[in-house]
Homo-oligomer: A and B are copies of this chain.
Amino acid sequence: MKLNNYPINRVLIVGGTHGNELTGVYLVKLFQQCPELIRRYTFESLTLLANPQAITAGRRYIDKDLNRCFLQQNLEDVTLSNYEDLLAKNINYLYGQNGKYPVDFLVDLHSTTSNMGITIILDNDQPFNLQLAAYLSSLHPEIKIYNSGKSGRAENGLRSRAKFGMGIEVGAVPQGVLNADLFLKTQNIVYATLDYLELYNQDKLPAFSHSFISYKYMEKIDYPRNEQGEITAMIHPQIQFKDYQALNPGDPMFLTFNGQTITYAGESSTYPIFINEAAYYEQNMAMCLTQKHQMTI
C-alpha cells in the first residue's frame, strides 16, 4: 500500500483561508485549544488560521483572494505587497517545500453556499492523493471527490505549497454562519484523514475499494450579463441545490429577472458544481461544469 516510500512527517490543517468560512475557522480554533484531538504518533500535526485579518473582519479577504496568491512567480515578485500577497509569501516561507517547516500533507478547510455536501478537492492526479480519496470514499460513501484539474488551484492555491494535500469543501452553508451538522461532518473527515496518514506511515492500511467516482473540472459558466456587466438572470429554480446532478442539453439553467428561462446549450451531459456560490458572482462564475468519471487506482 505504501506509495513511493514517502513518509508523512508533518501535517498542516488550515482554516480561514477565506475569513468568512466559519467551519474551518472554528475547527482550527478547537484543534488549537485541544491539540490532543489531532495528535498522532508518527507525524507532527500543525494548525494555521491562514487569513487573520479577514477572519476578524468576517470577510473572504482583505485585498485579494488568498487562495489565488501562490503562483511561484508571484511568491518571488518583490513588488507584490498587498495584504494577501504578503500572507502567501509568509505561509510559503514557513510551510513551503523550501520553508522552515516543510509540510508533507495539507488539509485546507472550506465551506460554500452551494449544495456540495462533503466534497474532497484534489488539485492533481498524484497516486498518494487519489489513494487517500479512495479510502475516504470507501469509509464515507456519501462524500464526493472533485478534481480541480485546470481550474488553477494546483498552481495558485494554498495547497500547492505542500507535497500532498486536499481541500474539504462543505455546503450549503452561508458565509459567516456555523452549521453544526456540517461542522461535525468536516471534523470526522479530518480525523479519518489523520488516521489514514497514521496507518499509511505504519504500513498498516486495511483493505478498501480502490474504485470511486470523480468529478473533473471542465469549465466555468458565467451569469448572463448586460453591456454594463450587471447580471440579468438568476440560477434557475430547477437547478438550485442540484450540484453533482446531471445537466442535459435543453435543461433550464438561468431565469432572467423578466421571467425568461435560459437553457443549457451544451452538446452533452455535464455535472455542475459550485452552483450559486456567493463568492463567485464577482469572479464571473455561476457554476462550474464537471465530467463524471469512474476511477480505479
Q: How many copies of the polypeptide does the oligomer hold?
A: 2
Q: Which of A249-292 contact B (CB under 8 A)?
A: 255, 257-258, 276, 278-279, 281-282
How far, in angstroms, from A229 to B177 measured CA to CA in the complex? 17
Instruction: Judge whether B174 and A240 touch: CB under 8 Å.
Output: no
For residue A224, which residues in chain B have a CB less than 8 angstroms away from its CB?
none
Contact size range, A: 20 to 34
Q: Which of A141-200 contact B (CB under 8 A)?
A: 172-181, 183-184
How far, in angstroms, from A240 to B231 measured CA to CA in the complex? 32
Closest partner residue, chain B, to A179 (CB atom): B240
- Residue of B58, B113, B180, B278 touching A235 (CB-CB under 8 A): B180
The A interface, classified by DSSP as helix, strand, loop or mixed, is loop
Q: Does A127 contact B (CB under 8 A)?
A: no
Closest partner residue, chain B, to A30 (CB atom): B257
How far, in angstroms, from A234 to B173 measured CA to CA in the complex? 13
For residue A282, which residues in chain B have a CB less than 8 angstroms away from its CB?
58
Instruction: Judge whether A178 and B58 touch: CB under 8 Å.
Output: no
How far, in angstroms, from A176 to B282 measured CA to CA in the complex? 10
Instruction: Judge whether B240 and A278 touch: CB under 8 Å.
Output: no
How far, in angstroms, from A230 to B56 measured CA to CA in the complex? 11
How far, in angstroms, from A30 to B232 measured CA to CA in the complex? 10
For residue A172, which residues in chain B have a CB less than 8 angstroms away from its CB?
174
Given A113-B174, A174-B113, A174-B174 in contact, is the A26-B179 Cβ separation under 8 Å?
A: no
- Which of A29, A172, A237 lies at the interface centre, i.e. has the most chain B CB atoms within 10 A of its CB? A237
Q: Does A236 contact B (CB under 8 A)?
A: yes
What are 5 A-B residue pairs whose CB atoms fall within 8 Å in the complex? A29-B230, A29-B257, A30-B257, A179-B234, A180-B240
